[in-house]
Chains A and B, each alone.
Chain A
């Protein structure tokens, strides 16, 4: 039958669909492994060797983290320990975290673990967003460590003023987490969730490490906040 079209032939569509479905399945399995390799956490060795990982190792809490525009990538990237001028981390400039800048990998990992469990136990995501998961009832916490309100010392002044002593950023954050009801900063006030001092320190470490994760510029509106990038 000369005028039977291939387009109305069942086998053509069957074979095409089999090929596309099969290939897509293989591609997705490959993507899964490719992604898990890219999002797995780095180690202290990576930081020592100045290797930029998408998720830096736990000892990143010993370093100064800033949020700067990468001209090459056209978005903001977390810069760890100083910028080489081209948007790459130098892993040099340290920053004291609760009085120390020599937290070992084991200690830092334990703090992050406690912070992560704490954030889950207190259900931060009920109101906040962490790395794209959660709610937008309260501010996005993905880059909260770099929030201009904490960067320029506003929050430290409010909390330190109430307590009558000078506080560093992480100390003020830990204090805020333990007694949020004392420091109304927002139209919607955070309730006291009974976070202990140890948990608060862990959560602050967790937030600091989270802000050092390269999220391809997410959340997009964070960079538009005054003071969020390069202090501008």
Chain B
């Protein structure tokens, strides 16, 4: 599942490029999770507006 780190020097971008799993974890952390957070905030706002 986790591939060994094989880049020349360790770097954050090397970690993302390690395989599909690391990229998926990264993109979910920075896009999906914040969007879920924004979703619930906006939902609350809409409910309060009523």
Contacts and interface: CB of A to CB of B under 8 A. Distances in A.
Nearest to A77: B8
A23 B30 contact: yes
A23 B45 CA distance: 24
Contacts of A4: 46
Interface in A18-69: 19-20, 23, 30-31, 34-35, 38, 52, 54
Interface string A72-100: 11100000000000000000000000000
Given A12-B42, A34-B13, A20 B8 contact: no
A148 B4 CA distance: 32
Task: Indicate the size class of the contact surface on chain A.
Answer: 20 to 34
Interface of A: 1-2, 4, 6, 9, 11-12, 15-16, 19-20, 23, 30-31, 34-35, 38, 52, 54, 72-74, 214
Interface of B: 4, 6-9, 11-13, 30-31, 34-35, 38-39, 42-43, 45-46, 50
Given A6-B39, A11-B45, A35-B13, 18 more contacts: A6-B43, A9-B42, A9-B46, A12-B42, A15-B38, A15-B42, A16-B35, A16-B38, A19-B35, A20-B30, A30-B12, A31-B13, A34-B11, A34-B12, A38-B8, A38-B9, A72-B4, A73-B6
